[in-house]
Structure 1
Amino acid sequence: MILGVVSDTHNRVDHIKKIVNIFNSNGVDYVIHTGDITQAKSLEQFSLLKAKLLGVFGNNDLEEEGLEAVCIKHGFEFQLPPLVINLDKKKIAIFHEPEAIEGFMHKEDNLDLILHGHTHRYRLEEINEVKIFNPGECAGSLKGKNAVGIVNLEDMEIKRIFF
């Protein structure tokens, strides 16, 4: 099973269109957004995904009613963090802000992967056999550094695709 991971799109509709094309052309099964979509018009762009979209809301996702309406319309699954899911026999926790991760790891067993956003910075590390991944930003603040992630759950290979 292949996951697409995206974070901090911050209303960049032009970037979201590129992201959707990347994920569709890479045959991802699920796309996980780690927060800061910001407005309903941005979330609406993900309706062209071939994969199922799920994720968490971030600190800049203040247009709650509009975002929730788009989720209902397209069957997207979003909630406040953390979101814990099981896919392909892997236990995955999804956060927006990374500050809560360490405490969460002490009380949650059998995690394989933690995804987060918020920092707009790439992160890939392993702590106690749990991979922690943030693909970095997609909002364009760091020109030329926009990236999404692809995670192969079978072998836990993680790569970034720049756009």
Structure 2
Amino acid sequence: MKIGIISDTHTKVQMAKDALNFLIENGAEFIIHAGDIVEVEILNLLKNCGVRYIAVYGNNDAHLAQYHGKYNLVQEPHYFKLANSKFKLMHMPYYMAPDADIVVFGHTHEFESDYKNGTLFLNPGESCARNKSISECAMLEVTEPTLLVTYYTKERKEDTFKHQIFSYERIKS
């Protein structure tokens, strides 16, 4: 299963739209937003992107609580099963215990893909290109033997995404 992951979209609706469209065009079957959504328009993009999604509140999302029932918004840490894997979704990297197969987080605005003792810790970086000149997102492909992370970057003024691939052999428990 291919899972598109974005985070820290903040007020950059067009950058969020570009990342979502890119992930879906490249086969994402599910979208995860790791918080700091900020704009209701971004929630609408998620809701209408054509695939299932989940989004966690970030530290800049308290004002979105009024829309909780209209969108698939969750509080951190949120656990769920997808692709025969246990996920933990959060924005703030406070709950970094390896108590899931895959831990998705945001907040730091820095890409991270680290496989430790059977747990993948994944931060897609910032979609908003606020702290650097690139918009970032990731695709996670979950199969039984491997976890394949593709990290995408796009310069603010460019139309195309560049990528790096990280592959991890899953540890059987």
For normalisation by structure 2, the TM-score amounts to: 0.81
Amino acid at match of 1:157: L
Instruction: Pick the structure with more strand per residue.
Output: 2
| Contact 1:94 1:115 (8 Å CA) reproduced | yes
* Corresponding residue SS for 2:41: helix
CA distance in 1, matches of 2:67, 2:12: 15
Unaligned stretches of 5+ residues in structure 1: 72-76
Query: 4+ residue stretches of structure 1 with deviation over 6 A?
Result: none
Greater Cα offset, 59-68 or 80-89: 59-68
| Contact 1:9 1:16 (8 Å CA) reproduced | yes
RMSD: 1.6
**1:130 correspondence with 2:119:** yes
Q: Number of residues paired by the alignment?
A: 152
**1:151 correspondence with 2:140:** yes
Unaligned stretches of 5+ residues in structure 2: 155-173
Q: RCO higher in 1 or 2 (8 Å CA, sep ≥ 6)?
A: 1
| Contact 1:39 1:66 (8 Å CA) reproduced | no
CA distance in 1, matches of 2:128, 2:58: 14
Structure 1 counterpart of 2:77: 82
CA distance in 1, matches of 2:65, 2:93: 25
Structure 1 segment 69-108 matched on structure 2, within 5 A: 70-71=70-71, 77-102=72-97, 105=98, 108=99
Structure 1 segment 1-163 matched on structure 2, within 5 A: 1-68=1-68, 70-71=70-71, 77-102=72-97, 105=98, 108=99, 111-154=100-143, 155-163=146-154
